[in-house]
Structure 1
């Protein structure tokens, strides 16, 4: 019975379900798959019939995954990831090259140790094609879980985001509050966080990995809300806006460490110890890393250790 059930589930069922689960939208899933919305709905309906449960439920004008859908999503992702690894392995044999290394990186790593670590890795001439992508922590972890990335370098994700993933801590890092050097607050040594309400404040977006640390800091200092905020995960936008305007930017130290060292930005003297969080390497918990990926992780460890020394 179990084998007959398994044989009816096709790869297109899993691909379609993963796109629906990722986008929480039939229309967006259809666009991603380059098919029509009815085709997506029909494929999901077939999968639900095979499994005997509802995977998708309506929610307002959109949809959400049912309890069964959440359960099946993780296993479907592992299955598609395994197929992707098989495709990659065949491509490696055909090209006589090492396996591709696809890394998702948060700005805290991209602007500090990762560029030199990747340069070191390339000197080993493994033949592996290295791809670096950036984005919100949630997006990167979802891509890792689905097999689209091999490694995420950044902060430890929230517990609900770490299902099926393994995190190896490397060091801890705090959030900082920065301005341009000519900002009125930069010249002062005594002020309260309540004064942030007088300026535009650039904040990590809701749902980002450091946002809970920032919210807790503000609440601890009696600031339930700020009247003028911009939410962004773009370090390039944050840097440009802060340098051109009298704004305040709340961001991980690693993302602006070079700007602070060069004097392009100024750090406000605020005790930020309670915002410290672990930064490290996240991989799929059940997959065996290739030799090339193991080498990349070791090179990253060495570069982090050398910076700490």
Structure 2
């Protein structure tokens, strides 16, 4: 194998095909033609001497060799991006950009306090905070688009190439507006839950499997009136203006609970607890500014009273 034949475009094309599980979508993202992406993947496979992708019905799937190579390709792209950013910032005299991914619960419950503490350190670093689903944030971390993710611990199959530091554990709650009929009912909330609109985490969210297992364990195999959302802004506004019930991580609604605007239904959800913490690439070496930011996140997490 002649490694010198592998170019940046090969890695970039393969990563986008793997990320989108589609040559067409990868081509659109890269702003090139579909045949060009297909040709680039074939060139990479010729160099490696193995198939990286194969047809799977109308789509494609990554082969075992492809999954192995993807981990290293992601690290290579991430390292290159970090190097380019470092040189660029050094040349123009700017502090490096710190790119943080955070779950909605972390963004609303932890990051404001962490940022207040960090800004007092006067590192003059530029900071970018991205909020989204855990799976999306981890993909961005893998490919060097983020430097740190603050969120739930993902499954073992998604943690290859990452290191996780536990901060705290958090559970899912059933939240409703103050004065909701279920709060005054003598029956179990599960007996009447199907009568109300339920805001559910999306199927790709990190907490959805916890929620599904919990509902099934309590005799609920399906809820007829569901809205799937990861938007805390929509969820909060909709629940406050209706009789909907919001199944959500406790941290997202902690302030609303404290203010008395929302209440937690009397449902024991301890079994939905899961670890929340810091996730980084195993090959990442935190800068001084990043180390300070991580420390302020630890302090903010430790100081918050979580449900």
TM-score of the pair, normalised by structure 1: 0.95
User: Using the alignment, how far apart are the partners of 1:306 and 1:191 within structure 2?
Assistant: 34
Contact in 2 for aligned 1:189/1:269 (Cα 8 Å): no
Note the C-alpha offset of 1:189: 5.4
| Cα offsets for 1:242-282 (capped at 9, x unmatched) | 22222111000001111111222221111111111111111
**Is residue 227 of structure 1 aligned with residue 224 of structure 2?**
yes
User: Using the alignment, how far apart are the partners of 2:175 and 2:186 within structure 1?
Assistant: 14
| Cα offsets for 1:7-47 (capped at 9, x unmatched) | 00000000111111111111111111111111111111111
Aligned residues: 306
User: Using the alignment, how far apart are the partners of 1:274 and 1:44 within structure 2?
Assistant: 45
User: Using the alignment, how far apart are the partners of 1:36 and 1:194 within structure 2?
Assistant: 54
Query: Hey, what does 1:290 align to over in structure 2?
Result: 287
**Is residue 59 of structure 1 aligned with residue 56 of structure 2?**
yes
Moved more, 112-121 or 292-301: 112-121
User: Using the alignment, how far apart are the partners of 1:192 and 1:117 within structure 2?
Assistant: 36
- The within-5 A match list for 1:76-155 is 76-155=73-152
The gaps in structure 1 that reach 5 residues or longer are none
User: Using the alignment, how far apart are the partners of 1:294 and 1:97 within structure 2?
Assistant: 18
The gaps in structure 2 that reach 5 residues or longer are none
Contact in 1 for aligned 2:196/2:243 (Cα 8 Å): yes
Moved more, 248-257 or 195-204: 195-204
Contact in 1 for aligned 2:164/2:277 (Cα 8 Å): yes
User: Using the alignment, how far apart are the partners of 1:154 and 1:19 within structure 2?
Assistant: 24
User: Using the alignment, how far apart are the partners of 1:53 and 1:163 within structure 2?
Assistant: 22
Query: Hey, what does 1:34 align to over in structure 2?
Result: 31
| Cα offsets for 1:100-123 (capped at 9, x unmatched) | 110001011111121121122122
Give the ranges of 4+ consecutive aligned residues of structure 1 lying more than 3 Å apart after TM superposition.
Answer: none
SS of residue paired to 1:270: coil
RMSD: 1.5
SS of residue paired to 2:109: coil
User: Using the alignment, how far apart are the partners of 2:206 and 2:301 within structure 1?
Assistant: 21
**Is residue 186 of structure 1 aligned with residue 183 of structure 2?**
yes
User: Using the alignment, how far apart are the partners of 2:186 and 2:113 within structure 1?
Assistant: 36
Contact in 2 for aligned 1:106/1:154 (Cα 8 Å): yes
SS of residue paired to 2:304: helix
